[in-house]
Amino acid sequence: MSPVSPTVPVSFEFFPPNTPVGSDKLKTVVAELAAAKPEFFSVTYGVGGSTREKTLATVKAIAEAGHEAAPHLSCVGSTEAGIGEILDTYRGIGCKRLVALRGDLPSGMAVAGEFRYAGELIEFVRRRHGSHWHVEVAAYPEYHPQQRYARRDLEYFAAKVKAGADSAITQFFFNPDAYFHFVDEVRKLGVTVPIVPGIMPFHNYANIARISARDGIDIPRWVALKMEGFMDDTASIRAFGLDVVTRLCERLVEGGAPALHFYTLNQSALVLEICRRLKVAN
Ligand code: FAD
- Predicted local distance difference test score (pLDDT) of residue 108: 67
What is the per-residue pLDDT across 222-275, written as a single tens digit (0 to 9) for each?
999 999 999 999 999 999 999 999 999 999 999 999 999 999 999 999 999 999
Q: 106 CA to middle of ligand 1, Å?
A: 14
Q: 217 CA to middle of ligand 1, Å?
A: 15
- Predicted local distance difference test score (pLDDT) of residue 1: 43
**Burial class of residue 232 (count of CB atoms within 10 Å of its CB; 0-12, 13-18, 19+):** exposed
Q: Work out the pLDDT band at 105, boundaries 50, 70, 90.
A: confident
Closest CA to 239 of 231, 254, 228, 227: 227
**Is ligand 1 within 6 A of the CB of residue 44?**
yes
Q: What is the 3-state secondary structure (H, E, C) of the chain?
A: CCCCCCCCCEEEEECCCCCHHHHHHHHHHHHHHHHHCCCCEEECCCHHHCCHHHHHHHHHHHHHCCCCEEEEEECCCCCHHHHHHHHHHHHHCCCCEEEEECCCCCCCCCCCCCCCCHHHHHHHHHHHHCCCCEEEEEECCCCCCCCCCHHHHHHHHHHHHHCCCCEEEEEECCCHHHHHHHHHHHHHCCCCCCEEEEECCCCCHHHHHHHHHHHCCCCCHHHHHHHHHCCCCHHHHHHHHHHHHHHHHHHHHHCCCCCEEEECCCCCHHHHHHHHHCCCCC
The answer to whether residue 123 is catalytic is no
What is the per-residue pLDDT across 146-200, written as a single tens digit (0 to 9) for each?
999 999 999 999 999 999 999 999 999 999 999 999 999 999 999 999 999 999 9
Catalytic pick among 13, 120, 142, 185: 13
Task: Yes or no: say if 10 and 54 are a contact pair by the CB < 8 Å rule.
Answer: no
List all residues 6 or more positions away from 81 whose beta carbon is below 8 Å from its beta carbon: none
For residues 149 and 169, give the distance between their C-alpha atoms in angstroms, rounded to a whole number: 21
**Is ligand 1 within 6 A of the CB of residue 144?**
yes
Ligand 1 mutation target, pool 97, 102, 114, most atoms within 8 A of CB: 102
What is the per-residue pLDDT across 42-84, written as a single tens digit (0 to 9) for each?
999 998 888 999 999 999 999 999 999 999 999 999 999 999 9
Which residue, by CA, sits nearest to atom 26 of ligand 1? 45
Ligand 1 mutation target, pool 12, 74, 116, most atoms within 8 A of CB: 74
For residues 143 and 62, give the distance between their C-alpha atoms in angstroms, rounded to a whole number: 32
The atom of ligand 1 lying closest to the CA of 43 is: 28
Count of Cβ atoms closer than 10 Å to residue 107 Cβ: 6
**Is ligand 1 within 6 A of the CB of residue 14?**
no
